[in-house]
Amino acid sequence: MRVAGGTLGVAALLLPLLGAAPPGASAEAPSGRLQGAFASAAAEYQVPQSVLLGVSYLQSRWDTHGGAPSVTGGYGPMHLTDARAALANVARHSEAEGDARGDDSRAPLKASEAVPTNTQLPARLRTLPRAAELTGLSAERLRGDPAANVRGGAALLAAAQKKLGKPLSDRPADWYAAVAKFSGADDAATAGTYANDVFAVIRDGERRTTDAGQQVTLRARPDAEPQAAQIERMGLRKADAGGTECPKTVSCEWIPAPYEEFKDENGNDDYGNHDLADRPKDQSIDYIVIHDTESTWEQTLKLVQDKTYLAWHYSLRSTDGHIVQSIKNKDVGWHAGNWYVNAKSIGLEHEGFLAQPDSWYTEEMYRSSSRLVKYLSKKYGIPLDRQHILGHDTVPGPTTSTIKSMHTDPGPYWDWSHYFALMGKPFHQTAGPNGGLVTVAPEFDENQPKFTGCEKAGAACAPHGSSAVRLYSKPSEDAPLIKDIGLRPNGDPSTIDVNDMASRVSAGQQYAVAGREGDWTAIWYLGQKAWFKNPSEQPTAVPAKGLVVTPKPGASEVPVYGRAYPEKEAYPAGMTPQAISPLPYKLLSGQRYATGGTTRGEYFYSPTFDTSTHKVVKGKDVYYEIQFGHRVAWVRAADVQVLPSTVS
């Protein structure tokens, strides 16, 4: 939820991508070294190679990330965790500390200043030191040498198998409980879900070229059947599902957020940390907002149970994909910083305490989250596209004064293409060259734009795959970046800081084409023509078609809004109408913007703990949601016309 920067394992970022080849692997082609490392480690520790490969795939998709840590301090293809240093070195950025409730009908909620300091880490966050003990390898080598990292993972699996009293068999099925143990989950449902996912990968097989150019293959083993009875004998706790709203393919636990009154620092009555409602009966649920917690799992759960803080609907744990639901989906969480979006959305917080934007997320969390989103999408009729599955960084400021304080998570290193592919909605070409729209779709691993500010302001971030594509004012990388007058009213230039959203687009977003020149494509963006490099041999966007909005004939410009509120006549007597205040941007004549559909103006009035005063105000004004800049926005239907995007 917050944006911050950490310093875990800075030295590890400088380590070579691949260390010494494992014994007997000298004949391997350079692109096959990692495959050889799996074979060598499997033989050394008597772990079936398919099990070792399957576990690693669910941890990292076999990527090495150049020695950089994950959001939970995990390293290398086995995601061996070493989070102790991270908790002692968390630094915070000053950006994005606005009111997450985003409603000016009541005083802003002050954000908690709590920063994780607990060094008594759970076992799931210190598997790398344990692997060092088992292998005799240094922690530094386990972090930076993928072959050593794989050995560490094999040692952990073998140790778990022995502790469970199981033989070091060559049958994958005999290792089901050890795989569940490797997840670090403390409840049976999560451990079982994780093991089932690993065994599904083993059964089906996988083949992939990793971020380091390594070709890795896991041959299908149809005989690898889960052994659920093994979980029952592990003595793990049974999580309280408590009527959670989750698909059967994930593990969910109910840990409620409190809806309670309290006295604020001035002795006045206040309440937190969400609002009771009756969605979708009284108002539709149109959005799912993807967040990054920037906190430990334990701290995240403390915050969501703090009646004086904020609450969201679901929290997802990185190491094993475990899900906690804290608010019923009928109720409104305080998470997005825009009250209109809060009232019409479900918030998902993904664990990530390092607050280090160039870190990465586990495959198991991506899979767990994608299943949850797909389930919620079907249940509430939410389209699976980037104008309805929002990053917190694409939620607009509701008013001009809030633009600078809007959050920037999950940031440019969230793999939107992979996330949507897991939901069965991959980003791909849907039109010919005259479709009139483009879908942003860079190759994540190969797309590595330069960023600064991950460790400290102005310092270069480590190279990293990204969903982001940078925008320029002319078709040249030497040209100035596109400016955002909302972020910088005085006209200061945009930057490449990792938290600067002014001049970039993200995978899956769609924009109207404004021009082409050589390897460059122009789109309409924040009222300007913005250029990005889009070479045919390695495209960063593909042709698409759909509907676009443009000012009605005779109008030179139309206002753009950060929320779709009703007209003042819709409010009942005694209720002060919410201002329909435009943002500082304009949609100009001749410009086109992709639309995500229509909605009628709506406002959820809930300024007090007493729910008898709550009311959903519904107006007659119709709005179109548009992809206006990096963030979405709305325009009044009365101001625009809708056209097909195709051009002759």
**DSSP per-residue letters across 473-491:** SSSSTTSPBPP-TTT-TT-
DSSP of 54-85: HHHHHHHTT--GGG---TTSEETTTTEE--HH
DSSP of 203-222: HH-EEEE-TTS-EEEE---T
Q: What is the pLDDT of residue 37?
A: 98
- Residue 108 is given by DSSP the state P
CA 633, CA 626: separation in Å to the nearest integer?
Answer: 5
Helix (H, G, I), strand (E, B) or coil at 49: helix
DSSP of 308-370: TS-B-SEEE-TTT--EEE-S-TTSEEB-SS-HHHHHTEEEEEE--TT--TT----HHHHHHHH
For the whole prediction, is pTM greater than 0.85?
A: yes
CA 30, CA 447: separation in Å to the nearest integer?
Answer: 22
Q: What is the pLDDT of residue 87?
A: 56
CA 429, CA 60: separation in Å to the nearest integer?
Answer: 28
Q: Which two tokens stand for residue 395?
A: 């939620």
Query: How many helices and strands, by DSSP H and E, does the chain display?
Result: 13, 30
Q: Max CA-CA distance within the chain?
A: 82
Neighbours of 478 (CB within 10 A): 6
* Encoded amino acid at 378, one letter: K
CA 305, CA 344: separation in Å to the nearest integer?
Answer: 22
Q: Which two tokens stand for residue 236?
A: 């793990």
pLDDT band at 111, cuts 50/70/90?
A: very low
* Encoded amino acid at 227, one letter: Q
pLDDT at 18 over 50: no
CA 424, CA 378: separation in Å to the nearest integer?
Answer: 13
pLDDT at 109 over 80: no
Q: What is the pLDDT of residue 228?
A: 85
CA 226, CA 332: separation in Å to the nearest integer?
Answer: 39
Q: What is the pLDDT of residue 286?
A: 98
pLDDT band at 25, cuts 50/70/90?
A: very low
Lowest mean pLDDT, pick from 76-90, 169-183, 425-439, 500-514: 76-90
Handedness of CA 263, 296, 316, 288 (dihedral sign): positive
Complete domains list, the chain, with CATH: 4-83+121-232 (1.10.530), 239-425 (3.40.80.10), 427-545 (no CATH), 551-644 (no CATH)
Q: What H or E segment, with its residue span, contains residue 254?
A: strand 252-254
pLDDT at 370 over 90: yes
pLDDT band at 97, cuts 50/70/90?
A: very low
CA 560, CA 583: separation in Å to the nearest integer?
Answer: 6
CA 591, CA 603: separation in Å to the nearest integer?
Answer: 29
CA 302, CA 296: separation in Å to the nearest integer?
Answer: 10
CA 532, CA 262: separation in Å to the nearest integer?
Answer: 51
435-447 exposure pattern, b = at least 16 Cβ within 10 A, e = fewer: bbbbbbbbebbeb
CA 41, CA 152: separation in Å to the nearest integer?
Answer: 8
Q: Report the mean per-residue pLDDT for the chain.
A: 89
β partners of residue 438:
511, 543
Inter-residue contact 562 to 398 (CB < 8 Å): yes
pLDDT band at 3, cuts 50/70/90?
A: very low
Q: What is the pLDDT of residue 26?
A: 44
CA 413, CA 422: separation in Å to the nearest integer?
Answer: 17
β partners of residue 348:
290, 314
263-320 pLDDT, tens digit each: 888 888 999 899 999 999 999 999 999 998 877 788 889 999 999 989 999 999 999 9
Q: What is the pLDDT of residue 296?
A: 77
Q: What H or E segment, with its residue span, contains residue 135?
A: helix 127-135
pLDDT band at 232, cuts 50/70/90?
A: confident
Q: What is the pLDDT of residue 84?
A: 74
327-352 pLDDT, tens digit each: 999 999 999 999 999 999 999 999 87
130-179 pLDDT, tens digit each: 999 999 999 999 999 999 999 999 999 999 999 999 999 999 999 999 99
Neighbours of 25 (CB within 10 A): 17
